[in-house]
Structures are given as structure tokens and as C-alpha cells.
Chain A
Amino acid sequence: MKITREQVEHVAKLARLELTEDEKALFTGQLDGILAYVDKLNELNTDGIVPTSHAVPMENAFREDVVAASIGIEKALANAPDRSESFFRVPKVIE
């Protein structure tokens, strides 16, 4: 086994996904199969190989420190599932 049901539950929590019992069972099996497949990467010797983040070499993209117009409160909140005045509203966060 590459991954256990407990690990699947932990990962689901990290990813904020409320999985059903069926989904947990299904994903445990499927992820196990996929992880077994990707194990083939261990055939490769990657010692001293630099990891690639972007396949096209690129560096230093900047913007100047000049204020651009904001989109405005109404546009910012237009898609909010819940709002109050000019705030987004969410269930209470316990500090």
C-alpha cells in the first residue's frame, strides 16, 4: 500500500474536502494505484539534476511602484456569497 485511508483523511482535511465514506474508499484505491505508477520515477537517477520550475528560462519580471485604480467595492463584492455593508461575511472565526 502506498497510501492508507487515514492518510487520505488527513490529506482531505488539509485540502478542505469533506469526503464521504465511499469517496474515501474510492480515492484510497485510486490514489494508491496512481502512486504505485509514479514510483517508476525512482528508476531515474536524478542526483545533481537541477529541478525545473519553468521550462522556458525566465527571470525578473517587475512592476513599478505606481498606484493603479482599484476595481471598487461593488465590483469586489459582486460575487460574494454573503456580505454585510462593504465586508465579506463568513461564519465566525474563533481566535
Chain B
Amino acid sequence: MKYQVVIGLEVHVQLLTNTKIFCGCSTRFGAEPNSQTCPVCLGLPGALPVLNKKVVEYAIRAGLATSCSIAPRSIFARKNYFYPDLPKGYQISQYELPICVDGRLDIEVDGETKRIGITRIHMEEDAGKLVHLETMEAGEKSYVDLNRACTPLLEVVSEPDMRSADEAVAYLKKLHQIVTYLGICDGNMEEGSFRCDANVSLMPVGAEEFGTRAELKNINSFRFVKQAIEYEIERQAEILDEGGKVVQETRLFDPATGTTRSMRGKEEAHDYRYFPDPDLVPLVVSGDWIEEVRSSLPELPDAKRQRYQAELGLPEYDAEVLAASRDIADYFDACVALYPQAKPVSNWVMGEVLRALKEDNREFADCPVTPRLLAEMLKLVESGTISGKIAKTVFDEMYKTGKEPAKIVEEKGLVQVSDTGAIEKIIDEVLTANPDNVEQYRGGKEKLFGFFVGQVMKASKGKANPALVNEILLNKLKG
């Protein structure tokens, strides 16, 4: 039988706040175990949560960027269950009345645009970490680190609107792009800043009623999402083909084998006993607050891409690459603001700048060639002070030293030679030194023109103005 897969995603987005959602402890990653804790995030008797305002602002940002409605009034609830990494025995989350509802994202797969619904976005606290260290003393023990406990998360729940693993990946990438653009998440999937659970079910093609779904957990890269879903499609199809029934359950993705396995048996039937948290008060978001956040939103990737094409006249490919991440787009925008010729800037950013950063494993924010330096250099090229070829030398030097391009040109004597007499002299020397080639050229082997240009440029150490070299060389070779 042919099946249609139905996929919904639940994404946990760790927010880039300085402090935890309900206490003032730092959220810095990688500190010594339990060093970033206090009575609140340890769940000590008597401790009470107080909501970090920044978390609300970030949730509103995410909601606006995904076309959600922002609830004028929302509340926090307790989700009750026991686990050693959950200090209070409940997680503070939102259940009824989340802050954002009814949004959407448009994704593109195979050139087609598709709209994926977002059911809700809510705020919640993360749990701590359970560590099972081989190196620690033997015995049947687990170790609890609560530094991560109480770290702010957004949970973004999609509608079951995706119909292939590729659509799921496209949705996830789009969401990743947006939250990193918004500056509310670092997007680091390895460190768990952006985590995804997938609800996957199959139904016969043409059917309207969804099948029983499995919830896939622990899929922490775009590649794994595709693998996990594809494996799950195969697994469920096999069951259905044999006349079996898919069990509703949680399954753990194993990156080592690319398969999913049941967590059944290890997980009892949950009854989370949600109820409004009496330690927290209702959250009321005014229209003014929403507008304030809206006005502070950065230009989002789709809008940016369209602007690069429509207003800056860039090709689709350039627009796509430059708008792909906030870092690169910010760099490009800053450069264009100082040197308003989009295409040369685009060429340099997508070419030399990206290459250098990649070789060096650096971020745009740390690029020694700041947008201003790059713009200055491009101005030198435009004014004819240096050639495009020399510009690469200047760029490398700027990257190494962070020096002003004009200074590098001066120090290294890289100013382009546009003195006709000087160029003629070099050309004469080259022609004199290569009588055979001159003869061959004049005999019709015009391909040799490039050879002469190369020799002249070499003799001028790259500084000769290429346009003049061409012009004079052509004349001289005519004889």
C-alpha cells in the first residue's frame, strides 16, 4: 500500500538571556556543575519564581516573526512529574493560554512554497542535566547538574502540516534562521540550544484521518531529522503492510544507527496534572508592548532576500546566500551602507570574506576586515588606485593585520601604475625579451596575447593598470 506521511514538529528554543527564566542565575554554558544555582532553581523549600521580563519580550518577538497572535493574557502552569533533573517535581510551563497562538511559516521545497501552521509558542523552564560518567566511581549511580535547570525555553509547536522529511527539514531550517535572526537563540544544535521532537504518522494515500503517531525524540541536527523521519516512515509502513497497528509511543533516535527505538516500559503512563501555578500571576501583554517589540524587530530573511533582489538588483543566488544568516546579512548591509554598489560588495562577501572566515573558523562578528575596511578597499579599486588583482593582496593583508587599506597600499607600494610612459617601457622590455612569441603572434597566433599581458603584469609586480596594458600592448603588437 502507498502511505502519506504526516509530520508535526515540537521545537525547543533556548533563549539567549543573561539569566534564567525565574531566577537571577547565569545561563552561561559550560560552568562547573551546580555552580550556577540558587534556592529557586534548586527547588529549595520556600523559594519562589519571578518571571524574567526579557523572556516575555523574546517570546513576543518569536510570535510576531511567525505571524502568531499574541495573547493579551496568558498564564503559567505546573506540569507535575518526578525526575532527578527536575528540582521542584514539576516544570513551570504554559498549558492553557500560551503567549502565542495561531501562526505560520512559509517554506520552499522543490521550488514550491508551502504554508506550515504554528499551533502555539509557549514559555517554559528547562530541566537540569543527568550525567552518566564512566570515569566517575563505579556503581549504579547517576549524577545531577542543575546549572541548566530553569533556563528559559520557547516551545514552538507546529500543526501536522508537513508531508515529507524534506518539508520537515525545510521548516526546521526556516525556524532556526528566524530565531537566530531575531537574536533570541544562538541556534547551537550540538549544545542543545535548538532541539526538535517529531510526531510522525502514516495514513493511506487519499485518506483523511491521520494514523497513530510516534513521537521521536533526541534529533539534534538537520541531518538526523531527515534520517529519523525516513526511518520511521519505513518502520511504520512495514507494520501497516503486515496488517499491524502502530503504537502511540515515544521513540528515541539513535544517531549511531540512524534508527529509532521504543522508550516503552521505561516510561510509565504520564498524568502530568497540569494546573495554574499559584506562585505566578497572570501575564498581561498590552498592545503598546507588542508594538514596541514589533518596532524593534530586525528585517527578517524573506524580506531581506526580496529587498536584495528588488532594490539592490542582486541575482537570486546572491540574495539567498547573503540573507541566509543574520551575521552575513548584517555584514553585507553595513558594507553596502558605506559603499553602495551591491554587486561588487556581494562578490567580495561571498568570495574572499567567506573563504577567509571559513579557513580561520571565525564568525562574521570577529572578522578583522570590518565592513568599513572592505568598503574603503573597494573605493580604492573604484578610483583606480589599486587593481582588482592587487585588491586581493590588500585584503589578505587587512585580514592579517586589521590595517587601513590605504596604509597597506602605501607601505607596500601597491599603487596602480597608470603612467603610459612607464607601462610602455615595461611592454617594450617584455617584447624585446620574447621575439619568438611576438613573431608567432603577428603570424596569427592571437592566443598569445594573454601571455604578454601576464608577463607585463608580472614585470610590474601586478601594479600596472590592466586596461592601459591591454590598450598599449594591442597597439605595439600590431607593429
Contacts and interface: CB of A to CB of B under 8 A. Distances in A.
A59 B74 CA distance: 10
B370 interface: no
A81 B294 CA distance: 49
B53 A89 contact: no
Interface residues on B, range: 35 or more
B104 interface: no
Given A14-B273, A65-B53, A67-B24, A93 B35 contact: no
Interface string A47-79: 000000110001111111111111111001100
Nearest to B58: A65
Contacts of A13: 268
A92 B51 contact: no
A38 interface: no
B25 A70 contact: yes
Nearest to A94: B266
B153 to A, nearest CB: 15
Interface stretch (B5-13, B137-145, B190-198): B137-145
B357 interface: no
Interface string B9-25: 00000000111000111
A93 B273 contact: no
Given A62-B52, A63-B50, A65-B19, A89 B142 contact: yes
Contacts of B19: 63, 65-68
B271 A14 contact: yes
Contacts of A63: 19, 24, 50-53
A62 B84 contact: no
B144 A88 contact: yes
B34 interface: yes
Interface stretch (B116-124, B227-235, B275-283, B450-458): B275-283
Contacts of B130: 93
Contacts of A85: 33, 136
Interface string B184-211: 0000000000000000000000000000
Contact of A61 (B143, B278, B281): B281
Contacts of B33: 73, 85-87
B140 A91 contact: yes
Contact of A53 (B34, B36, B37, B276): B276
B85 to A, nearest CB: 8
B18 A65 contact: yes
B82 A16 contact: yes
B269 to A, nearest CB: 9
Mostly helix, strand, loop or mixed at chain B's interface?
A: loop
A67 B252 CA distance: 35
Contacts of A14: 271, 273
A43 interface: no
Contacts of A86: 32-35, 145
Contacts of A91: 140-142
Contact of B53 (A64, A67, A95): A64
A76 B145 contact: no
Contact of B34 (A16, A59, A77, A95): A77
B353 interface: no
Nearest to B73: A59
B32 A87 contact: no
B142 A67 contact: no
A65 B281 contact: no
Nearest to A90: B84
A66 B302 CA distance: 33
Contacts of B240: none
Contacts of B268: 13
Interface in B375-432: none
B38 interface: yes
Given A70-B25, A92-B141, A93-B130, A60 B281 contact: yes
Contact of B144 (A60, A64, A65, A87): A87
B281 A54 contact: yes
Nearest to A56: B281
Given A59-B281, A65-B52, A90 B38 contact: no
A16 B55 CA distance: 33
Interface in B68-108: 73, 75, 82-84
Nearest to B273: A14
B140 A62 contact: no
A42 interface: no
A47 B263 CA distance: 42
Contacts of B54: 64-65
A93 B84 contact: yes
A47 B51 CA distance: 32
Given A53-B276, A58-B281, A86-B32, 16 more contacts: A59-B282, A62-B51, A63-B52, A65-B52, A66-B24, A67-B18, A68-B23, A84-B137, A84-B141, A85-B136, A86-B145, A87-B144, A88-B84, A90-B141, A92-B141, A94-B266
23 contacts: A14-B271, A16-B82, A53-B75, A58-B281, A59-B284, A63-B50, A63-B52, A63-B53, A65-B18, A65-B53, A65-B54, A66-B18, A66-B24, A70-B35, A72-B35, A85-B33, A87-B143, A88-B143, A89-B144, A90-B143, A93-B132, A93-B142, A95-B266
